Amino acid sequence: MTEKTLDQIPVTQLKGVGTQLAGKLAKLGINTIQDILFHLPLRYMDRTRITPIGSAQLNTDVVIEGEVRGCDLVYGRRRSLMCRLQDNTGIITLRFFHFSNAQRENLKTGSHLRCFGEVKHGSSGREIYHPEYQFLDQNQPLPLQQHLTAVYPASEGLSQQRMRTIAGQAITLINENSITELLPEAFHKTSLTEALLFIHQPPQSASLDLLANGDHPAQQRLAFEELLAHHLSLLHLRRTFQQQPAPALNKNDALEQQFCSALPFQLTLAQQRVSHEIQHDMAKPFPMLRLIQGDVGSGKTIVAALAALQCIANGKQAAIMAPTEILAEQHRNNFEIWFKPLGVRVAWLTGKVKGKARERQLQAISDGSAQIIVGTHALFQDEVAFNDLGLTIVDEQHRFGVHQRLALKEKGLTQDYVPHQLIMTATPIPRTLAMSAYADLDCSIIDELPPGRSPVNTVVIANQRRQEIIEHVRTACANGRQAYWVCTLIEESDALEAQAAEATADELHLLLPELNIGLIHGRLKPAEKAATMNAFKNGDIHLLVATTVIEVGVDVPNASLMVIENPERLGLAQLHQLRGRVGRGKEESHCVLLYSTPLSQQGTERLKIMRQTTDGFKIAEMDLKLRGPGEVLGTRQTGDMELRIADLLRDAHLLPDIKKSAEVMLAEYPLKADAIINRWLGGSERYGQV
């Protein structure tokens, strides 16, 4: 036989796999024998032992053997066939809702059966619905399974039995052919072959608990390889991107001096450090890929502005993109205040800029008269043609997916170089996760708040004490302060959320007639939103009733009280964002988490964390523990990292090693690195894009 590796043998080589079945397998991305082996079980069942009927426990899977004592058709709410099976320890009912006449006739009294299924509580006591069963022949003993039985991810028209037979055949082929080991020996203790054999057919002695948790060394071996594949692919993405030329943008000390001396504050040390890192990156002739993490209020905007300054000082355009209109508007205001004195022209583009105004902005962007362009994702649109884009800044990146980010990268591609990239996020990500999810980015952390801030005092109060809280709002506003009242909903529906906020605003109008109350939600026209925000900023509105649209970035230092209704409905990161709207001035600020009773155990736990800390990184760690990485990472996690066996949280301890191993792979085994990416992520469209 010619030496073929298993990734070269098509599934049709297996017995019983014709074109039809091959088609079904192909839908699961299974084309070769190797693909079958990487189609990993979800869980396992133990069919290696026979359980005496008398001791078959409710809600467990069991193998039982016994004699048929009789079969009856019963006509309850649904017609069913009830078959009594007995051994010398007890009796149990097998119940079938779907059955053929032949089946019914075959289940003769006195025949012996072996059954497999889950024991449930039914009208006759313990029952097994639709058990798998085989007839026993006294002269020909039926062997029991020698290993634990795998349960594979389900798919239409492909039974577990079929998958097991196919996997079983694939496994016997491992011994005749080789499956390519791609990890250097030093990286692992278990070989790939050993790991796969174990995972598809764990020995009888294997612990179901260990397997269910994914902690077995064989599983960890594969999890390591899978996470390594993801890590390598991000590094690969990064390298590919950085092989393109970018304009080397030099620092302009005089201009920077002029810019900074006009600011009403001095940069914090953390801001200076991060700015230097950015300046250093941008001076290189290949594109910067840098992520700034900084807690809410740490002052990321000014750092972005300094990057933009360095860019325009070299005659190139800088684009800054925000996830919401409100935030884009705010950046535009800040940038205009900071840049107008230097004679820099700031353009403005969101979905809501229409007609003549839009044409003017588009014109200024394409003819280069606009030097800084502020906007929302409208900046991605085809009609937007930059004249000479040197830098893109994406604010609050967790709201944008990687694809969107790539789309903005491509905006620069009509030029003969690509722009530098700066990404800013206020949702701190636990270090280990960041290492894996952002392996394609360099990371800077602004780990210091501007001076003079007093931490927000957070209290957790039941809605029964609403009246008291309303009095607090009254007092705070009477003392010249301003307040937010945030309404939340479970459903992510703009319309319903708007309704809830309107109702609350009406209620508060009645109770606080002396106050000027504003209302802001996602359903308002941009001009209305902007007018309300401005009135709040100017102090004309005392109390702003809002939906979570104000979550991101909004900056009104005189607001020192925030009430959040039903905070138990929100994630910790989102609450942290919201709360970051207060505590921006010198006065002491308060945040009231006004929850509805009864509060679940987890809800109580989460609100307690909010009360105890204002450190975004700590909150992120806790959020990760409570909600898992999918939620914490948002879009980046969902389309981009569909893991088959690894679990970012459970396997986080592997990440430091993976990081090191990835460097070694790229340096010493580049071909194997490619093969690993291919093996685990081969079909993924994202990598087709690069």
Judged by the rule CB under 6 A, the positions of this chain that interact with ligand ADP are 265-268, 271, 294, 296-302, 426, 450, 553, 555, 584
Instruction: Compute how many other C-beta atoms are within 10 angstroms of the C-beta atom of residue 368.
Output: 14
Query: Minimal distance in Å, beta carbon 451 to ligand ADP?
Result: 6
Q: Compare residues 56 and 326 and give the one whose CB is closer to Mg ion.
A: 326
Q: In this structure, what token pair is assigned to residue 558?
A: 């005189």
To the nearest whole angstrom, how small is the minimum distance from the Cβ of residue 395 to Mg ion?
6
Residue found under tokens 């709207």: 581
Nearer to Mg ion (CB atom), residue 323 or residue 553: 553
In our burial notation (b when 16+ CB lie closer than 10 A, e otherwise), range 591-628 reads bbbbbeeebeeebeebbebbeebbebbbbbbbbbeebe
Comparing CB distances to Mg ion, the nearer of 427 and 684 is 427
Between β-strands 590-595 and 559-565, what pairing exists: parallel, antiparallel or unpaired? parallel
Smallest distance from the beta carbon of 552 to Mg ion, in angstroms? 7
- Residue 267 beta carbon to ligand ADP: minimum distance, rounded to whole angstroms: 5
The Cα–Cα gap between 179 and 161 comes to 24
At 370, the amino acid letter reads: A
- What sections of 340-419 are H helices per DSSP? 355-367, 402-411
Distance CA 475, CA 454 (A): 20
Could you give the CA distance from residue 442 to residue 238 in angstroms, rounded to a whole number?
A: 10
Tokens 């990321």 sit on residue:
300
Q: Nearest CA to 502 among 514, 491, 489, 483?
A: 489
Name the minimum Å distance from CB 410 to ligand ADP: 26
Cβ 580 to Mg ion shortest distance, Å: 9
Return the sign of the alpha-carbon dihedral for residues 607, 611, 614, 615: negative
Smaller CB separation from ligand ADP, 334 or 404:
334
CA distances from 682 to 3, 35, 225, 231 (A): 23, 11, 14, 14
As measured in angstroms, the least distance from the Cβ of 446 to ligand ADP is 7
Residue 334: count of CB within 10 angstroms of its CB: 17
Between 552 and 633, CB nearer to ligand ADP: 552
Pairing, β 457-462 against β 517-520: unpaired
CB 676 within 8 A of CB 228: yes
Residue 268 vs 361, nearer CB to ligand ADP: 268
The listed partner (ligand ADP, Mg ion, none) that binds 41, CB under 5 to 8 Å by sort, is none
What does 268 interact with, of ligand ADP, Mg ion, none (CB < 5 to 8 A by kind)? ligand ADP
Shortest distance (Å) from residue 397 CB to ligand ADP: 12
Site residues (vs Mg ion, CB under 5 A) = 553
* Count of other CB atoms within 10 angstroms of residue 690: 11
The option from Mg ion, ligand ADP, none interacting with 297 (CB < 5 to 8 A, set by class) reads: ligand ADP
Beta carbon nearer to ligand ADP, 76 or 264? 264
- Of 41 and 553, nearer to Mg ion (C-beta) is 553
Choosing among ligand ADP, Mg ion, none, which partner's interface includes residue 298 (Cβ < 5 to 8 Å by kind)?
Answer: ligand ADP
Report the C-alpha gap between 96 and 111 in whole angstroms. Answer: 17
Q: Which amino acid is at 220?
A: Q
Q: Which is nearer to ligand ADP, 428 or 634 (CB)?
A: 428
Instruction: Kindly tell me the sign of the dihedral angle through the C-alpha atoms of 406, 408, 414, 418.
Output: negative
Residue 342, φ and ψ in degrees, nearest 5: -90, 0
Cβ closest to Mg ion, residue 118 vs residue 615: 615
* 333 vs 596, beta carbon nearer ligand ADP: 333
- Token pair for 320: 């800054």
Instruction: Decide whether 326 or 655 has the Cβ nearer to ligand ADP.
Output: 326
Name 200's Cβ contacts closer than 8 Å, sequence gap at least 6: 37, 41, 150, 167, 168, 170, 171
- Shortest Å distance, C-beta 520 to ligand ADP: 18
* Residue 294, binding choice from ligand ADP, Mg ion, none, Cβ under 5 to 8 Å by partner class: ligand ADP
What span, in angstroms and rounded, lies between the C-alpha atoms of 392 and 403? 15
Q: List the beta strands (DSSP E) in 98-216.
A: 112-122, 125-129, 132-135, 149-151
Q: How far is the CB of 554 from ligand ADP (least distance, A)?
A: 9
Least distance in angstroms from the C-beta of 584 to ligand ADP: 6
Minimum CB separation from Mg ion for residue 572, in Å?
A: 18
How many CA atoms, within 13 angstroms, populate the side-chain half-sphere of residue 315?
2
H or E element in which residue 442 lies: strand 442-446
Q: Which is nearer to Mg ion, 302 or 544 (CB)?
A: 302
Q: Are strands 90-96 and 79-87 parallel, antiparallel or unpaired?
A: antiparallel
Minimum gap (Å) between residue 668 Cβ and Mg ion: 41
Q: Are 339 and 360 in contact (CB under 8 A)?
A: no
Residue 392: name the closest of 369, 358, 417 by CA. Answer: 417
